[in-house]
Structures are given as structure tokens and as C-alpha cells.
Chain A
Amino acid sequence: MPILRTTEGRLKPIGILLICALIVEALSFLGHGAIAFMVFSVAAALLVCVGVPAYLLTLVRKDQESQP
């Protein structure tokens, strides 16, 4: 996918993933029971285990478009 070849292009799906996880995290504060805690845990795990490492990976990967 050409859009994922640059740092800017790779930020888009990561951003959408982070936004979704953050919205779910915010919604978990509407509840007060065990289900709210589990919803929060899933969102937090998604953020910490997928979203943030994926962003850090984009920083260290070179843009493929700039390769000769």
C-alpha cells in the first residue's frame, strides 16, 4: 500500500486506532461496574500494546519513498 510507505502515511491508521481506543476508554467511565473495568482494560491494552509501539516503530523506520 503506497500510503503506508511514508511516516506521515503510517501515522494515519495508528491515529485512527488510538482515537478509537481513547473513545472506548472515555465511554468506560460511564459505567461503574466490572464490565466498565473490562472495557477500559481492553482499550488500554490496545493503546499500550498496539497503538503506542506502532507509533514508535514509525519513528525508527525509514521512509521507503526516500530510498533510492
Chain B
Amino acid sequence: MHFTALLLILLIALTVALIAVFVVRPQTTATMAGKIAAFLGFFAFPLLCVGMGFSSHMDNSKSTRFCLSCHIMEPYGKSLRIDDPGHLPASHFQNHRVPPEQACYTCHTNYAMFGGLKAKLGGLRHMYVYYLGTPPKPEEIKLYEPYNNRECLHCHAGARSFEEGVVHSADPAIMADIRSNKLSCVSSGCHETVHDVAKLGEQKFWKELTDANPSDH
């Protein structure tokens, strides 16, 4: 368990103990000190617990393990281990071009203003569809919007391998189109193999030296 989660559980225990005093002996609130303690126990500490808990759960929601906790996402987790350097998410995950413990979030968040919030709202929509709606088959899942080059350029812009890449630098118009999102990074003929979950059965998988699973991160 994470240190902040432990700290929060301690705070929750303290708050519960404080409230329990007032439940068992309500007359304690008769004194000024009792009133202050009641204010802390019934108002300040519970709000603090909610705020810290929310922050902790928000952090956790960025983890690969969180995303793969829904069964529908399992094939997408498996696709991170495809043994093929041409498979875009797999090569990013296996070579740590994205932090493995936040692999999904790193690529699927939105690097614009309030992008994190937009990503979280998208996540809530996923949860609604998964638990209360009719979830599609894994291979039928589509992005809400076409993938924006901005998310790729957040890391790759300015990198030598990107700026001086043979195809990227072959024609100045190509680079301009990539930067303006006119030419998608994942368009046909470029980096087109992304989470090809329909063909998982035909793939070979990379075995990590440590016996960790993406869902363990």
C-alpha cells in the first residue's frame, strides 16, 4: 500500500475515533473544547479525508493496473506485450518510452489546457458504459475523437530521432502537416499498427525477465 494511502487511513481512523467519542458521550459538546473537537471531527477532518482520498484515487486512476481492471481492456493490456517493434503501443511500453506503470494514461490523456480533466471525464464515461450500459466487444472499441498528433509531439517534438527521421525530414511539408495535425502519425503507411486486438491470436508475445504483468503496475 502506498505511503499516502496509509497516512490517509490513519487520518480516517483518528476521525472515526473522534466522532465515536461524540456518539457515545454527546454531552462532551457542552464545553468550548468539546465544540471545537466536534467541529474538527464532524466537519474539518471528514472533508480532509474526502479531499486526500479523492487525490489518491485520482492518482491511482492514471495507473495501467486501473485501466486494465475492466475485463474489456485485457486484450489492450496484452497488446502491450506483442513482440513486434512495428506495433506502436508495444514498442513504447517495452522500451519505456512511456512509464510502464502509467502507460495507458500517458498516451491517452489530452495534453491541452484542462486535458487531464477531459481525460478523467472520458474515464467516467467508460465506467458508465461498462457497468450501466452495453459495452462493445474489445475489437469494436473506438476512440471518441481521432488520435491527435499533439499527444505524440508532447514527447517527440524536438527529439533528434523524430526531427531528423528519414521520412519526417524528407519533405518540409510533411513536418508541417504533422505539426498541424493534418497528417496523422497513425495514418496508413506511417505508424498504423496500434492495439491490433482483433489479431492477437496471430501474434508472438514478449516475455519480460521479471515475471511482472502490465496489470501489476
Asked if B69 contacts A34 (CB within 8 A), the reply is yes
Asked if B46 contacts A7 (CB within 8 A), the reply is no
Give chain A residues whose Cβ lies under 8 Å from the Cβ of B54. 40, 44
Nearest CB on A from B70, distance (A): 6
Asked if A15 contacts B69 (CB within 8 A), the reply is no
Nearest CB on B from A44, distance (A): 5
**Contact-residue size bin, chain A (C-beta under 8 Å from the other chain):** 20 to 34
Select from chain B the residue with minimum beta-carbon distance to A17: B19
The number of residues on chain B lying at the interface, defined by a beta carbon within 8 Å of a beta carbon of chain A, is: 37
Asked if A25 contacts B26 (CB within 8 A), the reply is no
Give chain B residues whose Cβ lies under 8 Å from the Cβ of A51. 42, 46
The winner among B9, B42, B54, B60 for most chain A CB atoms within 10 A is B42
Neighbour of A32 across the interface among B29, B42, B69, CB < 8 A: B69
Give chain B residues whose Cβ lies under 8 Å from the Cβ of A56. 43
Q: How many residue pairs bridge A and B at CB < 8 Å? A: 101
Asked if A11 contacts B16 (CB within 8 A), the reply is no
Nearest CB on A from B15, distance (A): 6
Asked if A38 contacts B127 (CB within 8 A), the reply is yes
Task: List residues of chain B with CB under 8 Å of any chain A CB.
Answer: 1, 5, 8-9, 12-13, 15-16, 19-20, 22-23, 26-27, 29-30, 38, 42-43, 46-47, 49-50, 53-54, 56-57, 60-61, 63, 65-66, 69-70, 127, 130-131
Task: List residues of chain A with CB under 8 Å of any chain B CB.
Answer: 7-9, 11-12, 14-16, 18-19, 21-23, 25-26, 28-29, 32-38, 40, 44, 47-48, 51-52, 55-56
Q: List 30 contacting pairs A-B, 8 Å CB cutoff, sorted by A.
A: A8-B26, A9-B26, A11-B22, A11-B26, A11-B38, A12-B22, A12-B23, A14-B42, A15-B19, A15-B22, A16-B23, A18-B19, A19-B16, A22-B12, A22-B19, A23-B12, A25-B49, A26-B9, A29-B1, A29-B8, A33-B69, A33-B70, A34-B69, A36-B60, A37-B57, A38-B131, A47-B47, A51-B46, A52-B43, A52-B46
Other 16 A-B pairs with CB < 8 A, given A18-B42, A34-B70, A40-B53: A12-B22, A15-B23, A19-B16, A23-B12, A25-B49, A25-B50, A26-B9, A26-B12, A26-B13, A28-B57, A29-B56, A32-B69, A33-B70, A34-B66, A37-B61, A37-B66
